Each structure stands twice: as C-alpha cells, then as structure tokens.
Structure 1
Amino acid sequence: MRVHVTDLIPGDQIQHDAYNDKGVHVLQEGATLRLEDISKLGQHGIDYVEIKPRTLSLSLDPLSEISDSFNKVKPQFNLAFDGCSTLFTEASQTGKFNQSVVDDVFKPLVGSLDVHTDVVSLLLLFNGKDDYTYRHSIQVGMLSYYIADWMGYSKKEAYEIGKAGYLHDIGKSKISRDILDKPDKLTSEEFEQVKLHTVYGYEMISASMNDKITAMVALQHHERDDGSGYPRALGEEQIHPYAHICAVADVYSAMTTNRVYQSKQQLLTVLRELYSLSFGKLNGKPTHAFIQQMLPNFIGKKVLLTTGESGIIVMNHPSDYFRPLVKTDDRFIDLSKEYHTSIQEILL
C-alpha cells in the first residue's frame, strides 16, 4: 500500500526500508510509525512509502498517547506545584527556605521528564490560568532541564540547571501580591519593584543553600547579552552559562503562559521571536538548541488557522521553520507561501 507521507498516521507499519535520495537509511522495514518518524521522513524529502495494509487496530489516537503521558507526569507536577507554594510561603515569611524540599519535589518531576519527549504537549497540558508564578517556575525548571540535556550537559548538570530554573523567581515571594496580580500594565515604579526579585532571589538562595551558581542564576536570568538587562546590565561574557539557559526558558514560558494582564502568545510564534532575540539579547547557543529540538514536536499537532479552518501540521518547511505545511480536510496549506494565513492557536 503506497501512501504519501502526509497521509501517514501513527501506528502505520512501513513495509520496506526507507532511504532518502542520497542513499541514507532513514527508517527500518517493519517500523511502527510515530509522529516523529513521519516528520523524519518529510525532513529527508521522502514523498511516498509502502506500508502494510491498515486494520482498525492500527488507528491509534495521538491524543490518547498524550493523555497517557500527561497522567503519568501529573502527580509529579502537582507535587512540584505544592512544593513551590511551600517554598514561596516560607521565603516570604522568613527570607529563606528549606533546601531539602527543593530536591524532594523537583527530582521526581525531572525523573518523569526523561520518558516524555513531546515537550509541546507537556506545555499545553500544564498551562493553566491560575497561580501563574508557580506554574511559570515549574515550566522554567522543566525547560531549563530539557535545554541543558539537549546541549549535551550531563544528567547531573542538567538537573542542577533545571533546579536553578525552578528557583529562579523565588525572590518574587518578597514582592507585593498586589503588584504581581495587578490586572493592568505595571507603572514604572511598580516595575522597578518587580526587578528587585532578582536580588531578593540571590539573597534568599544564598541564605538557604550552599550553592553559589543557583543563586547567580536567580540574580542574572534577566541579564541580556547586549547589556540591556537587569539588575547589573552585564554583557554576554559576564553572564553565567546556566543563566543563559534559564533566560531562554524564562522568556519562552512567560510569552506562552496566561498571565493576569497578558494573554499567552502562540507557541510557534514565540519560537520565531526567540530566534530574533538570539541575535544580541538571548544567548544563541541555548536558544538555537531549544528551537531545533522543539520544532519536530509540532508535527501532528492540531491547529486553528486565522481563516477559521482547522488542520494538522504535517511538515516543517525547510525555508521557513516557523510557517509549516498544514493539512486541512480538503487541502494542503503552505504557510511559507500563503502569508495572509497564519496559525491562530495550537490545540490538543
């Protein structure tokens, strides 16, 4: 049964070895296709493959797979969420926190992340409107861990980087809730108060843990390579590499999460914005590693287009990664060519 790659579904079995036009072996005969395998075929320029005849048992539901993964991670996420609340409350009242709580609640979450490679689905599933500060802290911890792992850091180093991301905003526990929860845009005076969370975080972590690097990440995660950041307007070489990673995770999470005074932006649009920021603002190495690893996660995702049509992302366009090929019920839409059409929302 000869099928175009855009018509493949997870669960199809490939009948013969797949090679690209340069003779590179892409997939093995008999492989049961996953979303990432279908994406891989497209990225290698393979248009058609032979698959074994489909049966009803092969019509796997990607949403079911996502739901199963979500249910496996959810208990660890809830533990990290409750732990974050405990840490912020204690830090608010005493100026420090119990460092053992951090490992007790963050290690189980990291342990569950290694078996969940679909980061986009994970972010969508855990992106609620309540308690932005806690959800943001967890997301930044998770994303910092993933980025460090993708950049080749050891598991131990990646965990430490993730933990620094988890604690990066602990200084906000000293900022008035009236300011943090304000539904309108902050005044310049209020923003100056918020900026102090970097210094407060450094002080709290230093008082609670014998970990200068984690404290440094809290202090520097709003610094920018061109010296435009705060609190010290440091340049690229003065910023710790872990803080570079945390900054990427922080910006992505902040721009894609519902906040009191700002609605979330579309996940793929934010990747494009990160790419722009990687030339002078955010450090290029972690930013590009993040984008490179995130893009395949969008293959197979349902989307709502600005035309009102619904479809599925079937391929990342080689000339414009941020405007993919989308398949609707009756046509294929190449967003790299149809600039009047855009993705309005990515759905589960």
Structure 2
Amino acid sequence: MRIHVSDLLDGDRLSNDVFNHYGLHVLSKGAQITKTEISRLIQHQIDFIDIEERISISPEPLQRTLETTVNPKWLPTVKPIYENAVKTIQELFSSALNEGKVDTAVVDNILHPLLNNLQLERDVVSMLLLLNTQDDYTYQHSVQVGMLSYYLATWLDYSPEECTKIGRAGFLHDIGKSKINDDILNKPEKLSTDEFDEVKRHTIYGHDIILESFQDNDLALTALQHHERMDGSGYPHALKDDEIHPYARIVAVVDIYSAMISARVYQKERDLLYVLRELYRLSFTELDPVTTHAFIRHMIPNFIGKNVLLNNEEMGIIIMTHPTEFFRPLVQIGEDFIDMSIERDYEIKQVFL
C-alpha cells in the first residue's frame, strides 16, 4: 500500500526499507510509524512510502512537521494572509494606544487564518524569510512571534488549545509598544538611558492592556515577562528560573530569534545559522534550555538540502542533521560525505537558503 507521508497514521508499519534519494538508509521494513518516524521521513524529503495493509485506522492523522524544503507555490495564497495580519496588528496597536485595550475577536481573526493556512507549511524558516521586509518591523515581528510561538508550543507537546493560546500570547507580547513613541522605537542610533528605560516599560504597558482587554492572566504575564531571563538579568522584575511563566519562556526564545533574523533600521539581518548558534549559547545562561533546544532541534532540519560554505572554503550540501550535535550535520562535497559530528576540524561558515 503506497501512501504519502502526510497521510500516515500512528501505528502504520513499513512494508519495505526506506532510503532517501542519496541512498542512505532511513527506516527499516516492519518499523512502526509514530510522530518521530514521520518527522524523520519529512527531514529526508521522502514523499511516498509503502506500508502494510491497515487492520485498524486511527481516527486522526498525525500533524505534519515543518522540516523539509520550501515549495514557493504557497506564496500567492499565504502572502495576502500574512500582509493582512500585519495590517491588522497595526490596527490593534492603534486601538491599544487610543482606547487602552484591544478587541479579542480581532486577535482571533488574525490568528486562525494564519494557523489554518500555515500549520502544514513545511519550511517555516524559508517562508518567514521570504515574507519578511524592512517595512513595519514592529507589526511583522508580532505576527512572526505569534506564528513561531504556536509552532514551538506544538513541539513542546502542549495541547492544541494551549498551543493556540500561546500563539495568541505571541501575537500580543509587544502590544505595550503602542504606548512608546515611534521616534524611540525606530531610532537608528543607540538609545539614551532614559529612552531605553521607556522602551522597557512596554512590558508593563502590555500587561495592563491585555488584562483590560482579556482578563487573561497567562497572556498578561507573557507580555510582562518575555524579557525576563533565567539568570535574573532581564526586566522588568529580574525574575529567575521558574519564577518566569512558561508561556513567557517560549515567547522569549522566539522573540530573540525573530528580532535577530529580521532586517531592522539599526541592524542588518543575521545569518540564520549564526542566530541559532546564539540561541544555543544563551540556553546555558539566559534562556530556558529545554524550550530553546526544542526550538533549535526542529529548526535545524530545515537546513537539509541547503548549500553550505565550510571553513576550508569548500561548498557542500547538507544531507542529514544530528539530533543533538545541532551544528554538525552530514555534508556531501562532490562524491564525498563528511560527518561533522565525527570530523571535528570542519565548521559551517554560512548556509545558503
């Protein structure tokens, strides 16, 4: 029985060994399918496999993961939805400024179309890089953090209801910036001490706006605490470890990722690999390690099939990623294969998306 990987069900069994298009063995005949096996198949860009005839069928197919190569055919459909979400976020900021609260229905009207159209998208990295522009940074950032917070929550095995709520928290995490003067937010030079103190108050403003709008303490605390850090170096209250709300720990990781990967008035967008390496470094001090490593582990497979420049100036292509050695994949150079988890002299200098 030949079937597309997106239609696999928990409990299906392979009727044949599975190899990727480089001839590398991926799964063995008789293997029982779970979410892990589906993720591995998608990582290797395998579309169809053979399974044994089903005896019993689970009522719901497993959710697809995002770790394969982008297909630009979605762009005409997704781009207007994304742009409308950015525009609506801008309107929410205006409402928060003028009225001190936002319409809960408007927030969900942004959230649901994005998730319905994008949760099956296989390469969220390339998708966001393609959609990202230098315009409307604050509003695009809110949309991207909302989307990625939702994905990260699913990777951390939150319930569907909580994943949606965490996505909503991501969309609203910076709503307090509506109270900050645009001249400060968009200032290309270094902020003065007074200006930075004012920017930091957006967490408190956001907490108050959300409580006035939703009466939802989880969402309000996420806005208040998304700049808190596990080592107590964050703001506004220098909280540590478990003092920080779990939702805020998720949004903190995504907030830093989106900020670093985006083009802003005062910085050039960073190389994707550099950003993930920086998150990994921060996971030992400022960011929750479990949350951060889950994010990196699910983002790294997006590099499969991408061209890379190594530290010896050779060009190669990433064939497989490593589940724990995040930045040491299997790379093909011509006819040769280099397992960077073993051959430690090699480093990746740049990934070409």
Q: Are 1:229 and 2:234 an aligned pair?
A: yes
Aligned to 1:344, which of 322, 347, 350?
350
Q: For the structure 1 residues 245 and 312, does the alpha-carbon distance in structure 2 shift closer, same or farther, using more than 3 Å as the test?
A: same
Q: Are 1:172 and 2:177 an aligned pair?
A: yes
Q: For the structure 1 residues 8 and 256, does the alpha-carbon distance in structure 2 shift closer, same or farther, using more than 3 Å as the test?
A: farther
The residue aligned with 1:55 is none
- The 8 Å contact of residues 297 and 323 in structure 2, kept in 1 or not, is answered as no
Q: Structure 1 residue 246: deviation in Å? A: 0.8
State how 1:127-166 maps to structure 2 within 5 Å.
Answer: 127-166=132-171
The residue aligned with 1:106 is 111
Aligned to 1:259, which of 264, 272, 285?
264
Q: Structure 1 residue 186: deviation in Å? A: 2.0
Q: For the structure 1 residues 81 and 172, does the alpha-carbon distance in structure 2 shift closer, same or farther, using more than 3 Å as the test?
A: same
**Percent of counterpart pairs with the same letter?**
49
Equivalents in 2 of 1:254, 1:213: separation in Å? 23
The residue aligned with 2:281 is 276
Q: Structure 1 residue 344: deviation in Å? A: 2.8
State how 1:38-187 maps to structure 2 within 5 Å.
Answer: 38=45, 66-187=71-192
Query: What residue identity is the alignment partner of 2:350?
Result: Q
Q: For the structure 1 residues 261 and 307, does the alpha-carbon distance in structure 2 shift closer, same or farther, using more than 3 Å as the test?
A: farther
The residue aligned with 1:51 is none
The residue aligned with 2:43 is 36
Q: Deviations over 1:187-212 (max 9, x none)?
A: 32221111111011111112222212
Q: Are 1:315 and 2:320 an aligned pair?
A: yes
Equivalents in 1 of 2:82, 2:281: separation in Å? 31
Equivalents in 1 of 2:74, 2:41: separation in Å? 15
Q: Deviations over 1:90-119 (max 9, x none)?
A: 222232222221111111111122211322
- The 8 Å contact of residues 142 and 170 in structure 2, kept in 1 or not, is answered as yes
Unaligned 5+ segments in structure 1 are 41-61
Query: What residue identity is the alignment partner of 1:206?
Result: L
- The 8 Å contact of residues 188 and 265 in structure 2, kept in 1 or not, is answered as yes
**Superposed CA RMSD:** 3.2
Q: Deviations over 1:261-285 (max 9, x none)?
A: 1122222222222122222311122
- TM-score norm. by structure 1 comes to 0.78
Q: Are 1:19 and 2:24 an aligned pair?
A: no
Unaligned 5+ segments in structure 2 are 1-18, 48-67
- The 8 Å contact of residues 39 and 296 in structure 1, kept in 2 or not, is answered as no
Q: Deviations over 1:157-180 (max 9, x none)?
A: 100000100010011111111111
Q: Structure 1 residue 8: deviation in Å? A: 6.2
Q: Deviations over 1:224-276 (max 9, x none)?
A: 11111100011212111111111111111111111111122222222222122
Equivalents in 2 of 1:166, 1:204: separation in Å? 13
The residue aligned with 1:47 is none
Equivalents in 2 of 1:276, 1:229: separation in Å? 16
- TM-score norm. by structure 2 comes to 0.77
- The 8 Å contact of residues 144 and 249 in structure 1, kept in 2 or not, is answered as yes
Aligned to 2:250, which of 229, 245, 267?
245
